[in-house]
Amino acid sequence: MPVEYLKKADLTAQSDAGDVRDIVQTILSDIEKGGDEAALRYAEKFDKYTGNIELTKEEIEAACALVPQKLKDDLQFAHDNVRRFAEAQKSTMHDVEYEIVPGLIAGQKSIPVAAAGCYVPGGRYSHIASAIMTVTTAKVAGCKHIVACSPPRPDVGIAPAIVYAAHISGADKILALGGVQGVAAMAFGLFGLPKANILVGPGNQFVAEAKRILFGRVGIDMIAGPTDSLILADKSADPLVIATDLVGQAEHGYNSPVWLVTDDRGIAEEVMRLVPGLIDDLPELNRVNAAAAWRDYAEVILCSDREEMAATSDLYAPEHLTVQAEDLPWWLDRLACYGSLFLGEETTVAFGDKASGTNHVLPTSGAANYTGGLSVHKYMKIVTWQKATREGSKAVAEATARISRLEGMEGHARTADVRLKKYFPDEEFDLTANG
C-alpha cells in the first residue's frame, strides 16, 4: 500500500533558498580586487567588528584562559574522539603498487592538500564543535597549513570556546572574520595566508553560496543546505525519546526539516501529541526555530512494514538518520542513503554533532544519495603513477598508437611510435588505425 502522510510539510528546504548569488558574487569580486582592505570593510559592515583579524598568540592564550576548565575537559574529550576516529579512517588508505602486465607497474598514492580553510559558524549559535570537526580532521590528514575562520562579535571577537577548540585541534592561524569575507580571505590568501586548497565547514546560505561559486578554483567539502534529520521507528520505540530527538534537531533553524517514518500508527500519533509541548518548553530562540520547522517542514509518514520504511528513508537520503527499532543489524545492512547513521535509542544525533567522534559536517538536501560527510579523505588527493621497463612498454605502446590513430590523435600516436622505434629498432609494428 502507498505510504500515508499523517503530517505533510508545506515547504521544503529549497523553498526559502532565495537568490543570493548576485550578492555573494559582488562581495567575492570586490574582495578579490581590493584584497585585505576590502575584506576589512565588509567585516566592519557585516560583523560590526574593527578589531584584529588574525589572532595573535597572546590573544589566543587570553581567550583560552576565559574557558572554564570543565568545558575545556569536554572539548578535549570531543577532540580526542574525533582525532581517534579520523586516525582510524586514515588507516584505511593505503598506497598501492601493482604490476598490470609484466614490466608495467602502476600505483596509487594519497597526498594531503597543503592548505585547508575551516569555516566555523558563530552567528545564531556558536558552533564550537565545528572547529573540532574541521580542524582535527585536516590535522590528521596531514595538511601543512590550517586556518580556522569564525565570525567575531562586535567589540568582543570570536567566542573564547571556539578559539580554544580551534587551538587544541591544531589550527595554525585563527581569523576573526565571518560570512563571505571569511571564506574569501581563506580562498584568496589574504592577510598573509597561503591560498586554501580546500574550504570546509558549515555556514549560512551566503557561506554556502560563496563555496559554490569558488568551487573549481578551490576544493570544497560540500554545498550544505539546512540541516535535516529522519527517524525510523517501530513499535518497540519510545515516543518521548523520538519526540525529544525530533525537537532537538528542529531547533537548528526555522527551515530545518525533521521526519518520522514508522509502521506503527500509535507511535506516530503519540509523537505528534508530544512534540508541541516539548517545543513550548524550549528557550525562546530555540522555541521559535523549532516551532517553525515543525509547522512548515516536518513530516510524519506511516508505512506498512520495515522494508517500506527503509525504502522511504533512502528516497529522502537524510543528513542524519536514526533507527529506533528492533533488529539493528538488518537496518545497518539495508539502509543505503544517509550522511551519518545512529543505530538504537542509546545514541542520538547530538552525540555525533558534539562529541562521539564521527564528523558532523554532512550532506544535506538529499546529497547523501551521492556523497558522504567530511572525513580525512576529503583532504586527501588520490593520485596515480606508473613506470615500465622497455619490454613492459611494448604492448601498451602498440595499443596506444592504434587507438590514438583511430581517434584521430596523431600526435598521441607518435609518442608511442618514437619509443617503439628507439627500444625495438629491429622489429616491425603495424601501428595503423586498422592494424
Is residue 167 part of the annotated active site? The answer reads no
pLDDT in tens, the chain (435 residues): 678 999 999 887 665 556 789 999 999 999 999 999 999 999 999 999 999 999 999 999 999 999 999 999 999 999 999 999 999 999 999 999 999 999 999 999 999 999 999 999 986 667 899 999 999 999 999 999 999 999 999 878 999 999 999 999 999 999 999 999 999 999 999 999 999 999 999 998 899 999 999 999 999 999 888 999 999 999 999 999 999 999 999 999 999 999 999 999 999 999 999 999 999 999 999 999 999 999 999 999 999 999 999 999 999 999 999 999 999 999 999 999 999 999 999 999 999 999 999 999 999 999 999 999 999 999 999 999 999 999 999 999 999 999 999 999 999 999 999 999 999 999 999 999 775
Reported CATH class of domain 226-372 = alpha beta
Is residue 320 part of the annotated active site? The answer reads yes
Q: Where are the beta strands (DSSP E) in 102-220?
A: 104-112, 115-119, 145-150, 173-176, 198-200, 219-220
**H-state helical runs in 233-376:** 239-250, 265-280, 284-296, 306-316, 328-334, 349-354
* CA dist., res. 383 & res. 361, Å (int): 25
The CATH architecture that domain 21-221+377-382 belongs to is: 3-Layer(aba) Sandwich (3.40)
Helix (H) or strand (E) run with residue 426 in it: none
pTM assigned to the model: 0.92
CATH 3.40.50.1980 in the chain, residue ranges: 21-221+377-382, 226-372
What single-letter amino acid sits at 348?
T
What single-letter amino acid sits at 143?
C
Q: From the candidates 79, 145, 252, 320, give the one annotated as an active-site residue.
A: 320
Residue carrying C-alpha cell 514508522: 262
CA angle 378, 163, 117 (to 5 degrees): 30
Neighbours of 26 (CB within 10 A): 11
Q: What is the DSSP string of 221-238?
A: S----S--EEEEE-TTS-
Total residues found in the chain within this entry: 435
Helix (H) or strand (E) run with residue 403 in it: helix 390-407
- The phi and psi torsions of 152 (rounded to 5 degrees) equal -85, 155
